[in-house]
Amino acid sequence: MNSQSTSSEAQAEAAAPKGFLRRAWESDIAWSFRHSPVAIVSAVVFLVLVLGAVFAPLLAPYNPFDPSTLNLMDGFTVPMGQGLGSGELYWLGTDDQGRDIFSTILYGLRISLFIGLMAVLFAAVLGVTLGLIAGYFGGWIEAVIMRVADVQITFPSILIAMLIFGIARGLTPPELRDQMAIWVLIVSIGLSDWVYFARTVRSSTIVEAQKEYVHAARLIGRKPGAILRKHLLPNVMGPVLVIATIYLALAIIAEATLSFLGVGAPPTKPSLGTLIRIGQDYLFSGEWWILLFPSLTLLALALSVNLLGDWLRDVLNPKLR
């Protein structure tokens, strides 16, 4: 046993340059990933969508936000059809103003993903901070934070996001509303979801704070802030990652819903939800492609993140719900 472990250590030392990659490949997570077709397919779909969003300016054949490139005569071109004005080929067709649907989807994906990621980040930072504080200090601080969480959790988060969006809109001057809309959305969705992070982190902090390393840190005189950041934070982050993936899917859907309802991303910076809102107007006149392709993209995005989140939850922590 002893000799075995030293020999494997020697092996690891010998393979030092690619040690990390190799260890990652041989880890439990990677093994379960390789053996789950659903996870692989979702990861590929998600990766393609993320790359499409990141490189949208390079990949998109047209810039949908530059009116000078629009040709009104190309309006309502069918998918794989040639525009009447320019004679150019549009893969997914064009909208009423001759805007290339494929390009608007790439840019819309960019905005949807950005808002989703930032909202989850915001919710996670806020929730983890408050959860750590509540769990570590206890007393009235904990009572206040968790009471607020209890009250908030009685309301569905989409309603809270709408309400915060409305309040923030009321507080911003009308001429800035469209510019601020994306940031307002991030804050609204983030504020509506912090509770779930705070609850989990609080309960794991209470458990961790009883352990010896925390007592030891306190004995050598580390300040509470340092104990929270350096000692407790790394040990409560495991479940946070899982919650973050699950709430990424929810945040993307929440953003799309708000934008669809007209209380989200403005038409000048359309997200996927805004595009679907616009496309819905053409459903009855037969221009189905304006609606269908953004909807499919949103569906692929939400579904792939959802399935990845489910997989990750099962792998990392089977006990977590």
* Of 198, 291, 308, 312, the one binding another protein by CB under 8 A: 291
The tokens of 295 are what?
């909807």
**Nearest distance, CB of residue 246 and another protein, angstroms:** 12
Nearest CB to another protein, comparing residues 71 and 188 = 188
Nearest CB to another protein, comparing residues 187 and 232 = 187
Half-sphere exposure of 37 (CA within 13 A, CB side): 0
**Contact 243/255 with Cβ under 8 angstroms?**
no
DSSP structure class, residue 196: H
Can you name the residues that pair with 158 across neighbouring β-strands?
Answer: none
**Nearest distance, CB of residue 58 and another protein, angstroms:** 29
Burial category of 241 from C-beta neighbours within 10 Å (exposed 0-12, middle 13-18, buried 19 and up): middle
Query: Binding mask 144-173 vs another protein (x if CB under 8 A, - otherwise)?
Result: ---x--xx--xxx-xx--xx-xxx-xxx--
Nearest CB to another protein, comparing residues 19 and 166 = 166
Query: Binding mask 169-208 vs another protein (x if CB under 8 A, - otherwise)?
Result: xxx--x----------------------------------
* Footprint of another protein on 44-63 (CB under 8 A): none
**Nearest distance, CB of residue 1 and another protein, angstroms:** 43
**Nearest distance, CB of residue 192 and another protein, angstroms:** 11
Nearest CB to another protein, comparing residues 227 and 301 = 301
Using alpha carbons, select from 94, 53, 92 the residue that is nearest to residue 73. 94
Rounded to whole angstroms, the Cα distance separating 128 from 107 reads 31
Query: Binding mask 2-41 vs another protein (x if CB under 8 A, - otherwise)?
Result: ----------------------------------------
Backbone φ/ψ region at 71: left (φ over 0), alpha (ψ -120 to 50), beta:
beta
Nearest CB to another protein, comparing residues 110 and 277 = 277
Rounded to whole angstroms, the Cα distance separating 193 from 183 reads 16
Strand residue runs (E) in 95-224 = none
Radius of gyration of the chain (CA): 24
The tokens of 173 are what?
């001057």
* Footprint of another protein on 225-284 (CB under 8 A): 249, 253, 256-257, 260-263, 276, 280, 283-284
Nearest CB to another protein, comparing residues 70 and 185 = 185
**Nearest distance, CB of residue 292 and another protein, angstroms:** 9
Q: Which residue do the tokens 């969003």 mark? A: 53
Residues in the interface with another protein (CB under 8 A) total 37
Nearest CB to another protein, comparing residues 52 and 309 = 309
As a whole number of Å, the end-to-end CA separation of the chain is 37
Using alpha carbons, select from 196, 215, 31 the residue that is nearest to residue 127. 196
**String of DSSP letters for 102-118:** HHHHHHHHHHHHHHHHH
* Footprint of another protein on 85-144 (CB under 8 A): none
Nearest CB to another protein, comparing residues 15 and 48 = 48
Nearest CB to another protein, comparing residues 163 and 217 = 163
**Contact 279/285 with Cβ under 8 angstroms?**
no
Residues that bind another protein (CB under 8 A): 147, 150-151, 154-156, 158-159, 162-163, 165-167, 169-171, 174, 249, 253, 256-257, 260-263, 276, 280, 283-284, 288, 291, 295, 298-299, 302-303, 306
